[in-house]
Amino acid sequence: MDPREKIEEVLNVIRPALRADGGDVELIDFDEDDGIVQLRLMGACGSCPISFMTLKQGIEKRLVNVVPGVRGVQAF
């Protein structure tokens, strides 16, 4: 399976929780050379004061553990 498809699968598991709080996440890009996933937090998540924690402790942790080659996430 293409890494981007696997990333989308993981994001689809996370999305209901984000949407319940009025937000969402969008996959912008995945650089297979450096292992960085670029994401955009949208809606309430984009302006939430703890969005960095959501990005790093929630989304990044799950992506790194589930998708081979992912080393981190970056907000876009």
Over the chain, what is the mean pLDDT? 92
Instruction: Please state the domain count of the chain.
Output: 1
Cβ atoms of 14 and 58 within 8 Å: the answer is yes
d(CA 48, CA 58): 14
pTM: 0.90
Report the sign of the C-alpha dihedral through residues 75, 56, 15, 70, in that order: positive
Domain containing residue 26? 3-75
41 phi/psi in degrees, rounded to 5? -85, 135
Q: Residues 14-25: pLDDT tens digits?
A: 999 999 989 999
**Sign of the Cα pseudo-torsion (73, 64, 28, 13, in order):** negative
CATH, residue 55 = 3.30.300.130
Instruction: Kindly tell me if the per-residue pLDDT of 52 is higher than 90.
Output: no
Give whole-number Cα distances, 68 to 1, 16, 20, in Å.
11, 23, 28
